Amino acid sequence: QVQLVESGGGLVKPGGSLRLSCAASGFTLSDYHMSWIRQAPGKGVEWVSYISSSSSHTNYADSVKGRFTISRDNAKNSLYLQMNSLRAGDTALYYCAREVMNPDGSGSGAFDIWGQGTMVTVSS
């Protein structure tokens, strides 16, 4: 079935790094734009980063710009998020999510498939 499975979360000290992975199955990853979205404990949902289907375009929330890097390997059906210079404020459950696509190949701004999330805790 169509699913996304995140991994790579854990406990890291402030200033440290982590690399999250998202494995896609049941659909052709190269047909979809993808995003990382996070949710701090007991808080709302925050979009973090976007990558286009062919990796030609990426974008980041201001809160992570310059510290996080999104990438993908369509041949391996995988999405990644390299997180550097981590701060306490980055503590959250990180989801990867698939964007609903329009017939012309553009995204619709909505996310129809989400993983179960991987928890990142930044603490000394």
Partner 1 sequence: QSALTQPPSASGSPGQSVTISCTGTSSDVGGYNYVSWYQQHPGKAPKLMIYEVSKRPSGVPDRFSGSKSGNTASLTVSGLQAEDGADFYCSSYAGSNNYVFGTGTKVTVL
Q: How far is the CB of 80 from partner 1 (least distance, A)?
A: 18
Q: Which residues bind partner 1 (CB under 8 A)?
A: 35, 37, 44-47, 50, 52, 57-59, 61-62, 95, 100, 107-112, 114-117
Burial bucket for residue 54 (CB in 10 Å: 0-12, 13-18, 19+): exposed
Which one, 23 or 61, has the nearer CB to partner 1? 61
Q: How far is the CB of 1 from partner 1 (least distance, A)?
A: 13
Q: How far is the CB of 83 from partner 1 (least distance, A)?
A: 19
49 and 64 Cβ atoms separated by less than 8 Å: yes
14/76 Cα distance (integer angstroms): 31
71 and 82 Cβ atoms separated by less than 8 Å: yes
Which one, 28 or 116, has the nearer CB to partner 1? 116
